[in-house]
């Protein structure tokens, strides 16, 4: 019979996100891990320094000591908005949002009707994602229901998934029957609950009755709702021109008001982008507890391989106390790595005269997003009770008197670091207490 594996004590330096202003740099810290009650992995039971947890280091202790002191550990990264079925169009030419969707994205997503293509793509995408250190997040599939099972079975991590919904203003090959949509969405809400997101692609591709019905299903079953909002000005004009033709929407005030009238703004709703909003829209998002996924690399200027949509006003979101997290928006966003996203967030906002930090970027790619996903007690930082998920970074020498912001800045903001090579910062990945590569 195999002997039970020893309980583990991890010894390492940690960077622990706390808030926009605070990341704790904790040299030589011990994490005591224990298997979770449902035996699906290890959680952090205790966390402290050598003195506080001396008994765990005793040679006769029942704990196996894993010495990772050559590394700096950060929590597994969280990507709050991405389209795993758009990996193949990340580097397609980007003229404008609406053109890019029609010319590149939709034909690519149509290929996922094929089961083998979908399954192989899911395996390939998941392998790339974990290589880049993303261990949780919210993602969009194509319209095809089987893609949910394929990607859920391939992911290493904790992800909320949904298939995009398209019942109007879509090419024939991606247009769905509303009754069938409502049936499938209801079934998925009941089956997957908070691991599922009702996912209208965006308002103009779904009729108002279906939008309202699928929102109700989400509410009833504790599922999330995710969609896009106010990414570009052309898009806003297009959306309003469509909805003002519907009987109950002729006097609709704004893009956000459309979702509000369909009862889609909720504390479990995550809106992608939200760049071009007026005051009344910010207020609607705040009143309803709606969260925002900010996608800086996707919104970046064309020369930085984004769609040139503009800059999200995070100060306004903070002013209204609206929760927001960072996201890659693959494939409008060109880069899988959340390090790229953090760097783009910092650089674009500094160019605009603001003062964002890498501390803020890390917080918005870990703990802030964990909270939006309803998993603050399990993900996003190092604390007792949370899953033992982290990335091992080969960091700068900690004797160099850098603080947490200094360490992050030298790792992520380093100009020598080529964007395509960001994953090379990661020397190892632990998911639920197991090294996975």
What residues line the site for Zn ion (CB under 5 A)?
Answer: 272, 329
Find tokens 């005591």 and name the residue: 32
Cβ nearer to Zn ion, comparing 17 with 272: 272
For residue 272, the minimal CB distance to Zn ion (Å) is 5
For residue 203, the minimal CB distance to Zn ion (Å) is 14
For residue 275, the minimal CB distance to Zn ion (Å) is 12
Cβ nearer to Zn ion, comparing 200 with 272: 272
Cβ nearer to Zn ion, comparing 162 with 272: 272
Cβ nearer to Zn ion, comparing 348 with 357: 348
**What's the token pair of residue 386?**
């949370």
For residue 121, the minimal CB distance to Zn ion (Å) is 17
- Degrees to nearest 5, angle at CA 299 with 413 and 139: 95
Find tokens 């591709």 and name the residue: 205
Cβ nearer to Zn ion, comparing 102 with 220: 102
H helices of 133-197, in order, are: 146-154, 178-192
How far is the CA of 281 from the CAs of 264, 284, 310, in angstroms? 14, 5, 17
For residue 311, the minimal CB distance to Zn ion (Å) is 17
CA distance 136 to 327: 11
**What's the token pair of residue 221?**
């079953």
For residue 223, the minimal CB distance to Zn ion (Å) is 18
Cβ nearer to Zn ion, comparing 42 with 329: 329
For residue 64, the minimal CB distance to Zn ion (Å) is 43
For residue 372, the minimal CB distance to Zn ion (Å) is 16
Q: Hey, which bits of 237-395 come out as E strands? A: 269-273, 291-294, 324-326, 390-393
For residue 271, the minimal CB distance to Zn ion (Å) is 10
* Cβ-proximal residues to 388 (8 Å cutoff; 6+ apart), any chain: 10, 31, 33, 41, 42, 43, 44, 430, 432, 433
DSSP string, 188-239: HHHHHGGGBEEEES-GGGS-HHHHHHHHHHHHHHT-EEEEEE---HHHHHHH
Cβ nearer to Zn ion, comparing 195 with 329: 329
Cβ nearer to Zn ion, comparing 121 with 299: 299
3 state SS of 145: coil
139: left (phi over 0), alpha (psi -120 to 50) or beta: beta
**What's the token pair of residue 246?**
């519907």
Torsion of CA 261, 265, 270, 272, to 10 degrees: 30
Cβ nearer to Zn ion, comparing 97 with 214: 97
CA distance 418 to 409: 15
């Amino acid at each position: 019979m195999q002997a039970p594996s020893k309980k583990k004590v991890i010894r390492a330096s940690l960077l622990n996100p706390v808030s926009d202003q605070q990341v704790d740099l904790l040299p030589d810290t011990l994490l005591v891990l224990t298997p979770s009650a449902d035996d699906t992995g290890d959680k952090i039971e205790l966390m402290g320094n050598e003195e506080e947890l001396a008994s765990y280091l005793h040679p006769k202790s029942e704990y196996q000591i894993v010495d990772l002191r050559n590394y700096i550990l950060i929590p597994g990264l969280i990507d709050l908005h991405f389209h795993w079925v758009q990996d193949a169009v990340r580097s397609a030419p980007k003229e404008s949002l609406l053109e890019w969707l029609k010319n590149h994205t939709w034909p690519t997503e149509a290929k996922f009707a094929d089961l083998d293509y979908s399954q192989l793509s899911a395996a390939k995408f998941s392998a790339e994602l974990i290589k880049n250190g993303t261990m949780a997040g919210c993602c969009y599939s194509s319209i095809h229901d089987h893609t949910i099972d394929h990607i859920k079975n391939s992911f290493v991590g904790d992800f909320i998934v949904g298939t995009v919904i398209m019942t109007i203003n879509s090419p024939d090959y991606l247009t769905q029957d509303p009754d069938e949509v409502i049936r499938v969405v209801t079934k998925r809400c009941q089956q997957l609950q908070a691991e599922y997101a009702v996912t209208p692609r965006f308002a103009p591709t779904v009729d108002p009755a279906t939008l309202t019905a699928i929102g109700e299903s989400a509410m009833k079953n504790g599922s999330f709702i995710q969609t896009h909002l106010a990414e570009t000005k052309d898009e806003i004009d297009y959306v309003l021109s469509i909805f003002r033709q519907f009987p109950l929407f002729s006097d609709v005030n704004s893009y956000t008001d459309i979702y509000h009238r369909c009862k889609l703004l909720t504390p479990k709703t995550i809106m992608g982008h939200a760049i071009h909003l007026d005051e009344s829209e910010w207020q609607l998002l705040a009143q309803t507890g709606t969260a925002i996924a900010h996608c800086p690399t996707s919104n970046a200027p064309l020369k930085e391989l984004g769609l040139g949509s503009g800059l999200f006003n995070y100060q306004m979101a903070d002013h209204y106390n609206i929760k927001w997290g960072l996201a890659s928006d693959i494939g409008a966003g060109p880069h899988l790595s959340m390090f790229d996203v953090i760097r783009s967030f910092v650089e674009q906002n500094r160019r605009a005269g603001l003062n964002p930090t890498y501390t803020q970027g890390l917080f918005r790619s870990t703990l802030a997003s964990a909270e939006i996903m309803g998993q603050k007690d399990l993900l996003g930082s190092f604390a007792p009770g949370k899953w033992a998920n982290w990335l091992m970074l080969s960091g700068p020498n900690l004797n160099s008197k850098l603080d947490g912001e200094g360490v992050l800045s030298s790792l992520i903001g380093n100009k020598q670091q080529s964007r395509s090579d960001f994953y090379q910062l990661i020397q190892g990945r632990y998911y639920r207490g197991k090294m996975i590569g």
